[in-house]
Structure 1
Amino acid sequence: MPRTSTAVIARAKGAPVELATIVVPDPGPGEAVVRVQACGVCHTDLHYREGGIGEDFPYLLGHEAAGVVEEVGPGVTDVAVDDYVVLNWRAVCGQCRACRRGRPWYCFATHNATQRMALADGDPQAGTELSPALGIGAFTEFTLVAAGQCTKVDPAAKPEVAGLLGCGVMAGLGAAINTGGVTRGDSVAVIGCGGVGAAAIAGARLAGANRIIAVDLDDRKLATAQELGATHTVNGRDQDVVAAVQALTDGHGADVVIDAVGRPETWQQAFYARDLAGIVVLVGVPTPEMRIPDIPLLDVFGRGGALKSSWYGDCLPSRDFPLLIDLYLQGRLPLEAFVTETIGIGDVEAAFAKMHGGDVLRSVVTL
């Protein structure tokens, strides 16, 4: 029987989120229903509410989630009822040209559940299908996803920390380790030390970088970055970022510079703050109107190296999530440091305000 569930939805562009009752269908072929235990409040959810990603309102928000598989549909073999899972938004197809070439982290045909959840009877928009954030929609007691979006992990990890791998933490860790290829002895600069940037710093430390430079405009975020492994900090309000990074790397620039902001000016800083043959990684998400800065093509040629973008930290959830949970349980990856507060399902709008003010690294809804 279809389930009803309390959920956080965004009905219209810019309107405050609200609680609503939704209908969650029984899982069809290749689908699963997950009982959500915790879900992080990510900036991407705020982008959805503000219409920055699309206009397919109403949206069912939430996507950084962990929970337990409640029911699976026909043909599902990779997960089973009662499995403890972290949800991911890139269920790989196994058939596209990237997957066939052995690069499933680039899968060009990732998929979500075929069926849609909808607003329940009694709602002013009863029957209206919901657009789940990043194909997940996890600010709710139950959610319907493609079975491939469920990644089994060790149930010893608390859901409020495990779920963070579903988006921001994985994006940052992967930007450093997978996309940037940070390794022992490297120098790394991270521009923007919110949730994604802080995770990039933790990833650089995990990979063995010997100089990790955190760049931000907020001293509170820089202090957190130091707790997560930054060896040096630069406040961009007070210092020229490029000159400061060069000064901290013997005048050369960093081997890897990660732009976790995603603005033209921060990308330009990253471009010039790297060493010759250094790597720039863009993991911050730009808005549609932004353009690459006016940089002489000769500078692009003359500096060499690589200019990369990082999709979801170039992760393969089935490979990376269990590994990172194991590192957390071993005490080598401080995921709990990313959780500023745990909140109820009715507190998401207030959490957006705290996020906007830079007061939290992550608020996490527990259900």
Structure 2
Amino acid sequence: MTQRVQGVVALGKNEPVRVETVLVPDAGPGEAVVRIQACGVCHTDLHYKQGGIGDDFPFLLGHEAAGVVEQVGPDVTDVAPGDFVILNWRAVCGHCRACLRGRPWYCFDTHNARQRMTLADGRELSPALGIGAFAEKTLVAAGQCTKVDASVAPAVAGLLGCGVMAGIGAAINTGGVERGDTVAVIGCGGVGGAAIVGARLAGAAKIIAVDIDARTLETARSMGATHTVDSRATDMVDAVRELTGGFGADVVIDAVGRPETYRQAFYARDLAGTVVLVGVPTPEMRLELPLLDVFGRGGALKSSWYGDCLPSRDFPMLVDLHQQGRIDLDAFVTETIGLGDVEDAFARMHDGDVLRSVVVL
């Protein structure tokens, strides 16, 4: 039976988001209905509202979520009603060429729920990243549900569903940070802060945080950065080279995703070093680099898809590390809010006042 719930919807480009009645159908084959307990306010949700990801309005926003499975389709066996899960936006198919080659974190045929949630007037909703979790309940593909230890707080568990996983994975999975490496992170908000945490977990000897906000740089130090660079006051490439004996960093992570920050990352790395792009660009952005420099500097230029994570492997592991006190997920939660506070949370995020606002239901 279709359920009526409250959810945060972007009805049109740059319009203020509104809490609307959302109709959630029963779970069909391969699907699950999840009662949301918490969902982080991610910059990607703001991109949706601004039309930076697509124009398939109206959007049901929210995707960094944790909750309890309420209902599953008749053929679902991996999760069951009552399971505490983190939602992910790359449900692995198991059959594409990446999966068959043993690289499911690159799955080329990830999927979402087949049915669509709607507004009360019948308009179909486009769920953000196939999730739509600024809502009391949502419908997802069962493969988007990763079961984890139910003792972890939903407000921190949900952040693993996107930003924290993207940052940690950019350092460990994509960047391949190893013991003794030097790492620079450009943009130290939620994703960049998580990249710092990932670099520290991997045993990096020197972690250089680069940002334009003194508050953010102070937070970066608390998360494990050994050095900070205010890129408003100094040339970050020169600063990173000075801090690395003139060579540049082994791994540079661009958590901003703009042409100018990517160029900085490119030139701040050591010869044969690695650049990781994890910040999300917008469609109109273009990059120009001298091809000779690309050839002559060697190394690797990588894009990090969701931290190249495998949710079934990585989410439980990171929850365990949090419970052991080896990573502090609570540090990412600046405030908890209600569904009606999302528009204000976007403003605070844009102004750099928060790492994460988290909607708690």
Q: 1:259 aligns with which of 254, 260, 263?
A: 254
Matched, 1:278 2:295: no
TM-score, normalised via structure 1 length: 0.98
Q: In the TM superposition, what whole-angstrom CA distance separates every residue of 1:290-330 from its partner, at most 9, and x where no partner exists?
A: 1112x222211111110000000000000100000000000
Q: 2:352 aligns with which of 331, 336, 358?
A: 358
Secondary structure, counterpart of 2:354 in structure 1: coil
One-letter amino acid of the structure 2 residue matched with residue 314 of structure 1: D
**Counterpart-to-counterpart distance in 2, 1:347 and 1:289:** 30
One-letter amino acid of the structure 2 residue matched with residue 309 of structure 1: S
Q: In the TM superposition, what whole-angstrom CA distance separates every residue of 1:233-261 from its partner, at most 9, and x where no partner exists?
A: 00000011000000001111000000000
1:6 paired residue number:
6
**Counterpart-to-counterpart distance in 1, 2:182 and 2:143:** 36
Secondary structure, counterpart of 1:113 in structure 2: coil
Task: Please report how far the alpha carbon of residue 191 of structure 1 lies from its aligned counterpart in structure 2 after TM superposition.
Answer: 0.4
Task: Please report how far the alpha carbon of residue 52 of structure 1 lies from its aligned counterpart in structure 2 after TM superposition.
Answer: 0.5
**% identical equivalent positions:** 77
- The aligned runs of 1:124-203 (5 Å cut-off) are 126-203=121-198
2:24 paired residue number:
24
**Counterpart-to-counterpart distance in 2, 1:117 and 1:165:** 24
Task: Please report how far the alpha carbon of residue 194 of structure 1 lies from its aligned counterpart in structure 2 after TM superposition.
Answer: 1.0
Q: In the TM superposition, what whole-angstrom CA distance separates every residue of 1:81-113 from its partner, at most 9, and x where no partner exists?
A: 100000000001000000010000000000000
Matched, 1:57 2:57: yes
2:237 paired residue number:
242
**Counterpart-to-counterpart distance in 2, 1:130 and 1:351:** 22
Task: Please report how far the alpha carbon of residue 59 of structure 1 lies from its aligned counterpart in structure 2 after TM superposition.
Answer: 0.4
Moved over 6 A (4+): none
Secondary structure, counterpart of 1:45 in structure 2: helix
**Counterpart-to-counterpart distance in 2, 1:194 and 1:296:** 30
Q: 1:319 aligns with which of 292, 313, 317?
A: 313
Q: 1:225 aligns with which of 220, 225, 228?
A: 220
**Counterpart-to-counterpart distance in 2, 1:136 and 1:174:** 20
1:68 paired residue number:
68
1:269 paired residue number:
264
Q: 1:333 aligns with which of 327, 335, 358?
A: 327
Secondary structure, counterpart of 2:234 in structure 1: coil
Gaps of 5+ in 2: none
**Counterpart-to-counterpart distance in 1, 2:108 and 2:290:** 32
User: Which sits farther off after the overlay, 298-307 or 227-236?
Assistant: 298-307
One-letter amino acid of the structure 2 residue matched with residue 297 of structure 1: L
One-letter amino acid of the structure 2 residue matched with residue 321 of structure 1: F
**Counterpart-to-counterpart distance in 2, 1:289 and 1:144:** 32
One-letter amino acid of the structure 1 residue matched with residue 41 of structure 2: V
One-letter amino acid of the structure 1 residue matched with residue 34 of structure 2: V
1:123 paired residue number:
none
State the superposition RMSD in angstroms.
0.6
Q: In the TM superposition, what whole-angstrom CA distance separates every residue of 1:51-84 from its partner, at most 9, and x where no partner exists?
A: 1101111100000000000000110000001000
**Counterpart-to-counterpart distance in 1, 2:283 and 2:51:** 12
2:112 paired residue number:
112
Secondary structure, counterpart of 2:15 in structure 1: coil
**Counterpart-to-counterpart distance in 1, 2:284 and 2:66:** 34
**Counterpart-to-counterpart distance in 1, 2:119 and 2:240:** 51
Gaps of 5+ in 1: 121-125
Secondary structure, counterpart of 1:105 in structure 2: helix
**Counterpart-to-counterpart distance in 2, 1:305 and 1:49:** 37
1:101 paired residue number:
101
Secondary structure, counterpart of 2:216 in structure 1: helix
